[in-house]
Structure formats: C-alpha cells, structure tokens
Amino acid sequence: MARPREFDIADAVEKAMNAFWARGYNGTSLPDLLDAMKITRGSLYKAFGSKKQLFLQSLALYDDHYVKPSVAMLQDVSMSGEHRLEKVFSGSVAVVENGDRRGCLLCNTSAGASSEDGEIASIVNDQLDRLTDAFFVALGDTTIWREKTKSRRRAEARSLSLNYVGLRVMARGGQQIEDLKMAAEQTVKRFKGAMT
Amino acid sequence: MARPREFDIADAVEKAMNAFWARGYNGTSLPDLLDAMKITRGSLYKAFGSKKQLFLQSLALYDDHYVKPSVAMLQDVSMSGEHRLEKVFSGSVAVVENGDRRGCLLCNTSAGASSEDGEIASIVNDQLDRLTDAFFVALGDTTIWREKTKSRRRAEARSLSLNYVGLRVMARGGQQIEDLKMAAEQTVKRFKGAMT
DNA sequence: AGAATTAGGAACCAATTGGTCTAATAACAT
DNA sequence: ATGTTATTAGACCAATTGGTTCCTAATTCT
C-alpha cells in the first residue's frame, strides 16, 4: 500500500497561484513555491511534473475562483447590466484600497510570460476573451447600450476590456489610488449615463 | 592617457533598451544584454555599474525616444485634439500590424518589475502620468471635450490612459489584431464623436 | 621608453535555478 | 516479519545568474 500524500493538491495549487500572482511566473522561483506550498522539491515534482505545469494549474484555478464567478456575475440578469459592470471596476479599485496591489494574474501574465510561451498566452487570452464576452452580455442589459447594434456593443465590450486590463496593470504598477478611482468612475459613466 | 572606449554609450543603451523591451527586466539576463550590446561583461560594468542602472538608463532613453515625442505631439496645437489623440491609438495598433508585439516598455514594467522596485515604479509612473497629462491637454482641443469642465477632462484623460495601457498589454499578450483594432476604434469614438 | 589611466578580455565567484536521484518512510496486505 | 507501492526528504546536478578580479591593451604625455 502506497504512502499517502501529506498535502492536499487543491490546497497546494491555491498557494502556488498566490505566489505566482504576487511575483509573476518568471519572478517566482522554486524555493519561493516550496516556501509558499510547504512541500519539498520531490513532492512538487511528483505531484505537478514541472514549474510550468504548476503554473498552468494555477491559471486554471484562477479561472475557477475569479474569472468564472466574474463572468457568471456579469451574466446574472437578476441585477441590472449597469450594476454588474460597475461591480467589476469598483471591485478592482476596492481591492487596492484594501492594500492588495497584485493586480490580475491574467493581465500580469499578458505583459510578461505570455510573450515567451504560446501555450500560456493562449490560455490567458481565452480567459480574457470570456470576460470580454461577459461585458458584451451585461452591456445588452444597460439602458444606454441595449438599443444599439450588437456590433457597437461588441466594440464597446472590447474597449471596456482595455479599461479593465489598464486599471489592473496601473494598480499593480503603483499608481495613486485617487487616480485609479477617478479613472474607474469615468469608465463607469460610459454605461451608466452622465457622459455629458 | 586612458584607453578610449570602443563603443558608444548612447548606442549601447539603445541596444539594451530594446533587449529589455523585448524580454522584460527580469527576463533579460546579462548574456542577453552582452549579446545585444556587443560588449563584454567588464565593459558593461565599467560603463554602467549594474544591470539595474542600465535599466534606469534604458527607461530614460525610452522617455526621450517615445514618451517625450508622444507628449509633444499630443500638445501640438497645429493639429486638432482629435487627430492627436487618435494617432496614439491607431499608432499602437499599426505597430502590431507591422509585426511588433513588444507593447510598451512602461506598461510591461508596470505589470512586472515595478512591484519589486519602488525606484523603477516611480520613474515609470512619472512617465505614464506625463502621458495622461498630455491626453488632458489634447482633450481640451477636441470639439466634444473642450467645453466640459477641467475636472471631467481630467477624469477622461485618466480613463484614456487605462485604454492605452490595456491596449499595449493586450497587444503584447497576443490578442487578435482585429480585436485590438476594434477596441482602439471604439476608444477613439469617445473624443471623435459618433458615440451614439 | 616609461608613466599614467581607463577600457577590454576572460577567468572566476558565490549563489541560485529548475530538475533528478536515491534512500527512507508511511500505509496496507499477507 | 516481509512485500508492495507511492510519498517524502534531502542531497545532488549542470547550467545559469549578476557581479568581481586581475591582467593585458590602447591611448596620450613627458
């Protein structure tokens, strides 16, 4: 009978995800991961095979924990489209106000590891695209955008994605909270009215 | 009399800047830099002191070559504000169409090295802030935004900065050109009219 | 020619990197 | 107690990292 594993795989992946989120893929070394995960080298390689595979699993967990719930929220018709979209932007500012400047694992990776590894890029872009699609859905439930053509809403969803990524990167890069807040609020006006 | 230097400092810094731009600060190793700059280790350390100092000089060169000229262009009253702003966004898409997916050294650094080094973050944010200020100036020369309050223009300049950073990061991360283009064009509509 | 001074070259350094390997361990079955 | 099997522990590996050191080289001056 085999010796049982002493750690929980899902728990370990979550710890790795947080390490990668804080330091980026390239900036997170094996010792960093071992520290964060509280396991030894042999255990890490036995369970995950390689640093990259562990990163891919971290991206999948990020999807489960953050992207899918955000997409679901953006598609939740029990709330107005305005409210749903606003939650994304105000939420991104709120975490900074709470002292969390990690930004978004997808956005950080887009600017870093993606250009070195097409597989990573593909997975990251798939997640970002799903977020854009969810922006599109929520725009269809706003007073301002519901009556415009799908094509226009599609374009605006893409422009909102630029705002989202920009907001997350600027937050991570240390921009002033007041500036981030103002930028986010102005972005919100685009689907909430008062764009005059 | 000392032996004369065999390479040109400015030329070497430009080559370093391009290496850092392509691979990021942490992703660019000393051998990468020596290759790109065509000098030896001793020469690099003699001339620049450290990898970080070389990076700071690369950021300064990026400012001279890209940020200052963009700021000047955005403030050039011989063109309409609309035209100036549009040039920034269409130009960012055009370089991608030309095969250049490096993004923007500032944006990449914001998502990467900045969080590990406050000095780098400060310099990067100073440059980004100047770009935002230049957006503000150009907005004041657009038909749509010239008659609104400074406060509103300030907010919109910040929101446009999110779009700019998002566009550059998405480009680097490998997003489809058509999507980037649509996002940029939709962003342009915000100061060029036809936001209906 | 020798002196002075900085640059170039190449070896070296300690530390770190992602990954490998082997022995001991933990669990259950016989 | 022995056998089986996957896990853990910790040492090891080749390569790489940013930086240092020391000797040689290039230039001008006296």
| Residue B194: band (very low, low, confident or very high) from pLDDT cuts 50, 70, 90 | low
What residue type is B95 in one-letter code? V
| Element containing residue B155 per DSSP (H, E) | helix B150-172
| Distance of A105 CA from D18 C1′ (whole Å) | 28
pLDDT in tens, A146-190: 999 999 999 999 999 999 999 999 999 999 999 999 999 999 999
Rounded to a whole number, what is the largest CA-CA distance in chain B?
A: 71
Question: What is the spatial distance between Cα B180 and Cα B183, in angstroms, rounded to a whole number?
Answer: 5
Which residues in B lie closer than 8 A to residue A103 (C-beta atoms)? 111
Rg (CA), chain A: 19
Is the CB of A41 less than 7 A from some atom of nucleic acid strand D?
yes
**Hey, what are B56's tokens?**
């700071």
Predicted TM-score of the model (pTM)? 0.95
Mutation choice for B interface testing from A165, A182, A189 by most B CBs within 10 A: A165
Cα B138 from chain centroid?
18
Question: What is the spatial distance between Cα B110 and Cα A104, in angstroms, rounded to a whole number?
Answer: 12
Q: Hey, are the CB atoms on A128 and B175 less than 8 Å from each other? A: yes
Q: Hey, are the CB atoms on B158 and A183 less than 8 Å from each other? A: yes
Query: In Å, what is the CA distance from B1 to each residue of A165, B4, B37, B47?
Result: 55, 9, 26, 18
Q: Where are the domains of chain A?
A: 59-192
| Ramachandran area for residue B85 (φ above 0: left; ψ -120 to 50: alpha; else beta) | alpha
Per-residue burial over B161-195, b = 16 or more CB atoms within 10 Å of its CB, e = otherwise:
bbbbbbbbbbbbbbbeeebbbbbbbbbbbbbbeee
Q: Kindly provide the ipTM of the predicted complex, given to two decimals.
A: 0.94
**Hey, what are A108's tokens?**
């950080």
* Residues of chain A by 3-state class (helix, strand, coil), percent to 5: 75, 0, 25
pLDDT at B196: 44
pLDDT in tens, A32-78: 999 999 999 999 999 999 999 999 999 999 999 999 999 999 999 99
Which residues in A lie closer than 8 A to residue B108 (C-beta atoms)? 111-112
